[in-house]
Amino acid sequence: MRVAVIGSGYVGLVAAACFAELGHHVVCVDNDHAKVAALKAGKTPIYEDYLTEVLARHQGDNLSFSTSLGTSVKGAEAIFIAVGTPMSPTGDADLSYVESVTRELAKSINSYKVVVEKSTVPVCTSAWIERSLVLNGCPRAEFDVVSNPEFLREGSAVSDFLYPDRIVVGAASQRAAQVLRDIYAPLLDGSYSSHTGAVPRPEGAKPKPRYIETSPQSAELVKHACNAFLAMKISFINAVANVCEAVDADIEEVCLGIGSDTRIGHRFLRAGIGYGGSCFPKDVAAFRSAARVHGYKFELLDAVHKINEQQRQLFLRKVRMALWTLKGKRLCVLGLAFKDGTDDVRESPAIQIVQSLLHEGCEIVAFDPAAMTNAKALFSDSIFYATDAYAAAEGADALLILTEWKEFASLDLIRIRELLKYPIVLDGRNLYAPEAMAKAGLDYHSVGRAARAISHPIPVQARVAD
């Protein structure tokens, strides 16, 4: 089929590449001329497994990039809107980019099209898109609006798109619903995975996704409700972790017991410094706001947000308690991205903690396998950037683990002990067993578990001779 994807950000670029991978003829549209030029030159603007190779495989064949929305739309059967919906100062989703696209679409639609909202949007946005198209001169018979939310995880977005556990389509007409069935047919019948060169099926992925057809409003709510629920699980287990510390219990043991309940499951029951990224904070805020607009105060989500914010402050308190004072301390920070597998630093708990440490007069030496370029755009030269974890640890008063990269879970702890000025590790992601840290001679502070102090830092007054 002929597909236009408007927006070449995270969702738009992954969607365009994957629709091309499924055999469709795709044009990805963006009004950023420099970005489109870079994409045409084969440059991939985001860090994501398989994305570069899928883009290279199809570009110039059934995948192209354009800055002309009008030309691209005229030849398309389905138009996916994948522009940003950033959080406004009030917590609402900013839909100005979506509205701008609909105004342009109204001028360009020349035959029946299915307009698909792929961006994460509040409930009833599909109705507003329909209204905007009509008000801007597009005949109602020439289009249908469909909600098709994405459920992509940064770091595994391409695999998530091509091997989803479910596809949700909210359509008000059978004609539009059939177009979406045709677009996703290679996934629905399981035939994609048998193609030569197909992206490998992840371990545990279903052979075929569950295909769920709903009303547009229900599909819009599915996306926000999913992210809000996952954020709630994270905040819940972090709250339990704080209780564990108060009573000298071990959050990892508690998580094992909770997660073994099949009604709950293990996923997202990981205590740490809280959720971040471009989705959860924005979607929780937008869902709270949408509920408020429709007359319901979603107090549960208020608590989810509050616990998440508190988690950073509690971790900073651990750092202060381990180091006594912070001013002038040299700290090794491992991890700047909001999670492993991505270079995304938006709403990253690690970034927020580093900002607080800088405010308290710390010197930061950081390393992240993928996100240092994006971090430099935020910090410039206010922090130092190391070439690897060991270079960052050399001479540091303490080591802080802030992102759960796999390589940070397999460090040579004896070498780390020798490189650090003081044997102090603060693990905001619980990557290590306390016993392993104790064996290496490291004071270990994690989340929801008792601190394991092998030795204690020398008071600042006694360090004058250093």
Average pLDDT over residues 296-322: 94
> What percent of the chain clears pLDDT 70, i.e. is strictly above it?
97
Mean pLDDT of the chain: 92
Catalytic annotation present for 279: yes
pLDDT at 89: 80
Of the listed ranges 88-97, 293-302, 387-396, the one predicted with least confidence: 88-97
CATH 3.30.420.40 fits 308-463, yes or no: no
Average pLDDT over residues 80-99: 86
Of the listed ranges 120-129, 145-154, 167-176, the one predicted with least confidence: 120-129
pLDDT at 414: 97
pLDDT at 453: 72
Indicate where the chain has its CATH 3.40.50.720 domain(s): 2-214, 308-463
pLDDT (tens digit per residue) in 23-36: 999 999 999 999 99
> Quick one: which of 152, 120, 96 has its CA closest to 282?
120
pLDDT (tens digit per residue) in 232-260: 999 999 999 999 999 999 999 999 999 99
Q: Residue 85 — φ and ψ, nearest 5°?
A: -130, 65
Cβ atoms 184, 74 nearer than 8 A: no
Higher pLDDT, 122 or 358: 358
pLDDT at 430: 97
DSSP character at residue 193: G
Average pLDDT over residues 194-219: 92
Give 278's pLDDT tier (boundaries 50, 70, 90).
confident
| b/e burial code for range 140-168 (CB count within 10 A of at least 16 → b) | eeebbbbbbbbbbebbbbbbbbbbbeebb
Cβ atoms 24, 98 nearer than 8 A: no
pLDDT at 463: 38
> What percent of the chain clears pLDDT 90, i.e. is strictly above it?
82
pLDDT (tens digit per residue) in 430-456: 999 999 999 999 999 999 998 877 654
- pLDDT > 80? residue 459: no
CA atoms within 13 A on the CB side of 238: 26
- Maximum C-alpha span of the chain: 82
In angstroms, what CA-CA distances link 240 with 253, 305, 362, 426, 435? 12, 15, 30, 19, 22
pLDDT (tens digit per residue) in 90-101: 778 888 999 999
CATH-assigned architecture of domain 2-214: 3-Layer(aba) Sandwich (3.40)
What's the predicted TM-score (pTM) here? 0.87
pLDDT at 455: 53
Residue by residue, DSSP assigns 61-119 as TTEEEES-HHHHHHT-SEEEE----PBPTTS-B--HHHHHHHHHHHHH--S-EEEEE-S
- Among 18, 279, 332, 362, the one annotated catalytic: 279
- pLDDT > 80? residue 227: yes
Burial class (CB in 10 A: 0-12, 13-18, 19+), 16: buried
